[in-house]
Amino acid sequence: MTNASSYGRPGSDNNQGSVKVALVSLGDNTTSSTACENFIYDECYSNEEYVDLIKEYIFPTTFEWCLIVLYLIVFTLGLVGNFLVVFVVVRNKHMRTITNLFIVNLSVADFLVLLICLPASVLTDVTETWFMGRVMCKLVHYLQAVSVSVSVLTLTVISIERYYAICHPLSFKSTHTRARLMIILVWVISLAIVIPELVILDLFPHKPYTDLLMACKPSWSYTSQAAFQIVLIVALFFLPFCLMGFAYIRIALCLWSDFIPTESCECNKPLNADGKSSHHEVRQQVTSRRNVAKMLIAVVIMFGICYLPVHLLNILRYAKALMNGVAAVNFALIAHWLCYFNSAINPLIYNFMSAKFRKEFMRACGCCFWICSPAVRSNRNQGFREGTMSYRYSNSATTHTEHIMLNPVNKEKAAELHNDLYD
């Protein structure tokens, strides 16, 4: 991923240039005269003044303070939101659909990158300096690249799974075991494909400014780094998005056409007394699958919007078509922030576009209140005891309606049945 500090520090203050000139002198001057410790043009600076210049250089500008606030918002919302996604799926059996298993995998990757990579990235983007040593230099950027790879490959696998489940249901059977194997494969591929990040990154003196500041950057040649980045952009952005675009276009044609794809629901359709699926039930299933498709398409579009700027910057950078300047640097900082914003936005998409996730999020957020309040807990238990479920059955002459008392276990089974039918 592009490091915004590669483009130089943004700033419009007039003294910014003098700070950099001073730091260059600090890195280059190894001797001092008896009259003055260091000269910069006609100005004389002591060692203490040099230290002050360094502090001024790494101290955030007004724009960077605003960016820090945005990072804090993303950090908080992202950790809480992705934790809730994992929590509600693990906690509720009726939420453990095949699609949701992949969504949990996406949330785990986002949670890890926010927890491990975001703080280090903020510090580096703001100060243009790597303070955390050689090991973290390699580890942070490697985990960040792994997370991006896991995210895009998971989204690709979801699109393929949904495509076959909806458009070719008789030739493909989705199972939880197959989904888990695909998740493992996604992680293995992601850990392997970005191994060069772990090998080539190292610490180097920040020569344009001073030997006292360090930069975490690739140790191989500029040409090799450019080739590697182009391969990653093609393999982990353009090709997956072409595949996802094809899959979701086909899914949309299947779900939003006048023809109802009843054959895609053959194994799950409820039967009436004549052994035939009701038109109403098929409509419900198609509507449910449309809602899931809309949510997944929104996730893919948001991923593309958030990662396109940083990939565009990489292309321009290695094509040597990007000039250093305040505008370019600020754009790089925003593009870098958008990558982390994407890790925090997905739970919000689930909340707004999925009634099931929204309901379980609300239950999870109210869980602490429910545990701490005996009155609320008593009312909820009473609701369990008094819950009922009705069903109808018919023969050639009469139709009957019966009621079943639901305890918590029966409610869970009923939810699982509904999930199998309509998710």
What residue ranges define each of the domains in the chain, with the CATH number in brackets?
A: 60-365 (1.20.1070.10), 367-422 (no CATH)
Instruction: Give me the pLDDT at residue 405, please.
Output: 44
pLDDT at res. 233: 92
Residues 63 and 85 sit within 8 Å (Cβ to Cβ): no
Band the pLDDT of 285: cuts 50, 70, 90: confident
- Cα dihedral 351, 355, 358, 360, rounded to 10, equals -140
pLDDT at 282: 66
How large is the average pLDDT for residues 187-212? 83
Residue 217 or residue 11, greater confidence: 217
Helix (H, G, I), strand (E, B) or coil at 109: helix
Beta carbons of 113 and 340 less than 8 angstroms apart? yes
Comparing 354 with 220, which gets the higher pLDDT?
220
Predicted confidence (pLDDT) per residue in 94-141, tens digit: 888 898 999 999 999 999 989 988 998 898 888 888 888 899 999 999
What tokens does 342 get? Answer: 């994407």
> Which residue is associated with the tokens 């605003």?
66
Which pTM was predicted?
0.72
| Residues whose CB is less than 8 angstroms from the CB of residue 240 and which lie 6 or more positions away in sequence, other chains included | 152, 153, 155, 156
Binning pLDDT at 50, 70 and 90, where does residue 278 land?
low
The answer on pLDDT for 274 being more than 70 is no
Q: Counting beta carbons within 10 angstroms of the beta carbon of residue 179, is it exposed (0 to 12), middle (13 to 18) or buried (19 or more)?
A: buried
Cα gap 166→16, rounded to integer Å: 58
Evaluate if residue 36 carries a pLDDT over 70. no
Whether the per-residue pLDDT at 41 is higher than 90: the answer is no
Strand partners, 217: 202
Which one-letter DSSP state was computed for residue 232? H
- Give 165 or 57, the one with higher predicted confidence: 165
Residue 154 pLDDT: 93
pLDDT at 32: 42
3-class secondary-structure state, position 339: helix
Q: pLDDT band for position 330 (50/70/90)?
A: confident
- DSSP characters for 169-209? GGG----HHHHHHHHHHHHHHHHHHTHHHHHHEEEEEETTT
Structure-model confidence comparison of residues 422 and 371, the more confident one: 371
Each residue's pLDDT tens digit, 394-404:
444 444 444 44
